[in-house]
Amino acid sequence: MKFEKNCYEIRLESIGGLGANLAGKILGETGALYMGLNSSNFASYGSEKRGSPVKSFVRFAEKGHEIRINSPIEKPDILILFHERLAGKAQVMAGADEKTSIIVNSSESNEFLRDRLKIYAGTLYKVDALALAAKNKTRVNMVMLGAAAKASGFIPLDKLCEAVTDTLGKKYPLSVEGNINGIKAGYDNAIPYEIKPDGKYPYIEYEELKQDWGYDNAPIGGINPIFGSTVTNDLTASREGYIPIFNKELCINCGLCSSTCPDMVYQFKEGEYKGKISMVNLGPDYTHCKGCLRCVEVCPTKAITEGNEREYDISKTDIKNISLITDNFKLEDTGQNSWVESVSNTVNSLE
């Protein structure tokens, strides 16, 4: 294997829960243990919870070329986006140019994705990893691994399958068949689509993102300046593709969904239920929902069921706290976990 430069570099951009960290580890192991290459892998993420941003970095080098660099990958040969909604000001597309293979988990068209992600240039491999994972009884990350093998042009499918069988087979032997099928599906469905640098979107330089507040300047000894669930915070990039579907007819307003939901998605308002004044469930505000489906599990009347996000146009739901957004808000579209800068806002009513 001859690489054009010292290291062949892969950057995985994802959110917690989709398995990008594991996918990066498996890619690194495939190179070192099954292909006779030198390889390295590390990941960067915040709290280990579903929905937080995750980056994983993999480097390969031929034997004889040591990997001495251990910093984030600025100009990836392959860029893997686990969720199309990672698009935004956050630099998920940084460093991608005409030499980059860009793999995106999406059911949208190539043209739509180019505009959504503002792709300067590259070879786009769109894979509907969610649908393929569901069909093959595996996870999104396995499908993305198969697509990565195809896009690389040098990672043999059989070596990747061997690595996955050995790594996951010991602990989860029953998952192996589905995982291998998922990898093969990703490989077969990754079709290249060339994007030339035609000036439609600019090249984005990689820059280290600095936190506004860190350990040395955060007030009161350290707080998280990025809010979890707020009026404007958009957590939709946190979802793995599933959403809760609310059926008002079956709801008895017990409030269990609300007390279980980690992101306070359910909106209650004083109203009438069975002839009495009580708090009535209006339904979910999907802006904050990360699709964990805990509410589905706890609802005693099956008023909440699991749905495939892509089959619902949730942008049309009117259960939004949109009326609480004032001119004082300055929205930051940072892609995943966007946040808002604002004056303090006291919520008294949903009206």
Burial 4-25 (b: 16+ CB within 10 A, else e): eeebbbbbbbbbbbbbbbbbbb
Helix (H) or strand (E) holding 257: helix 256-260
Whole-number minimum distance, CB 222 to ligand SF4, in Å? 26
Stretch that binds ligand SF4, among 140-148, 167-175, 188-196, 298-306 (CB under 6 A): 298-306
Helix-helix angle 20-29:157-169, to 10 degrees: 120
Q: Residue 131 phi/psi, 5° resolution?
A: -65, -40
Distance CA 256, CA 275 (A): 21
Contact in structure between 235 and 263 (CB atoms under 8 Å): yes
Of 22, 73, 103, 303, the one binding ligand SF4 by CB under 6 A: 303
Q: Kindly tell me which of 72 and 262 has the beta carbon lying closer to ligand SF4.
A: 262
**Binding to ligand SF4 by residue 15, rule CB under 6 A?**
no
Q: Which of residues 211-270 bind ligand SF4 (CB under 6 A)?
A: 244, 251-257, 260-261, 263, 265
Phi, psi of 69 (to 5 degrees): -100, 140
Which position among 304, 319, 337, 339 is part of the footprint of ligand SF4 (CB under 6 A)?
304
- Residue 88 interacts with ligand SF4 (CB under 6 A): yes or no: no
Q: Of 103, 295, 337, 339, which lies in the binding site for ligand SF4, with binding defined by CB under 6 A? A: 295
Among 130, 138, 290, 336, binds ligand SF4 (CB under 6 A): 290
> Is residue 301 involved in binding ligand SF4 (CB under 6 A)?
yes
Q: Does 104 bind ligand SF4 (CB under 6 A)?
A: no
Cα separation values, 218 from 47, 214, 334, Å: 18, 6, 21
| Footprint of ligand SF4 (CB under 6 A) | 244, 251-257, 260-261, 263, 265, 281, 284, 289-295, 298-299, 301, 303-304
